[in-house]
Amino acid sequence: MLRGLTHYPQRPGPLFNLRPEVPVEPPAWIRSLNRDAHPPYPARALERYADWMTARIGAWVAAASVLVAGCISVSGGNVLSGDRHVTWLDDGVMMTATSGKATWASMGGRDSVDMLGINDSAGVTIYAATPTPLTAQTFVCGQTTPGQSLLLSYRNDDPAGPAIRSESCRVAFMQIGAVGGPPVIGTFEVVFDLPSGGTKSITNGSFDLALSM
């Protein structure tokens, strides 16, 4: 299936597919960074591919924790309450995550935040990374500054699987926060290409999540 970054079974399933097939080579969108690209791939493409793999692994682990254990309490907590939240409008319909998580990582001179917000009908993941240090800033799809990486995905009731390709997106971090300290706070909006056809407009997105490692 060329519309996604990896293959998902073409049948209704759980909110997130927890048994994805890992591609044996970078997906087409990585190779398309250079029209004549062939192994070895451009350094920028390989860096984005590494970021993509890190993002997907983080999302699968977080989703597995929520789906298998339900309302659980792991590092940083999953059940959202008080000021902690992930909310958005799904084609104008209000969505509020009942569970969420924000994971901080710092390695190889890069900092990243991998966020997840889900309820019983939809879920959104946001992964952002920059060279150390990651500070409050805005990411715009197709207009990222050197070193920025931004990946988003969305799952609702589309039997073709999650949406992982976007026509446009914007994620603004007002506060990066710290593990065991202030939360990560920001806003997001994105127009996804749905794997079954058409688009999905996510607007007025907002997140306020405790950071864990």
Tens-digit pLDDT profile for residues 129-145: 999 999 999 999 988 68
Residue 6 lies inside a defined structural domain of this protein: no
Residue 4 lies inside a defined structural domain of this protein: no
Decide: 32 and 38 in contact? Cβ < 8 Å.
Answer: no
Threshold 0.75, pTM exceeds: no
CA distance 53 to 129: 13
CA distance 77 to 212: 8
Backbone angles phi, psi at 116, to 5 degrees: -140, 135
Q: Rounded to an integer, what is the distance from CA 178 to the centroid of its chain?
A: 19
Residue 206 lies inside a defined structural domain of this protein: yes
Whether 63 has a pLDDT exceeding 90, the answer reads no
Residue 13 lies inside a defined structural domain of this protein: no
CA distance 42 to 44: 5
Residue 14 lies inside a defined structural domain of this protein: no
What range does the domain containing 134 cover?
A: 28-212
Residue 19 lies inside a defined structural domain of this protein: no
Residue 78 lies inside a defined structural domain of this protein: yes
CA distance 213 to 108: 16
Based on the structure, what is the number of domains in the chain? 1
Q: Work out the mean pLDDT of the chain and round it to a whole number.
A: 75
Query: According to the model, what pLDDT value does residue 37 have?
Result: 39
Residue 8 lies inside a defined structural domain of this protein: no
Query: According to the model, what pLDDT value does residue 157 have?
Result: 84
Residue 10 pLDDT level (bands cut at 50, 70, 90): very low
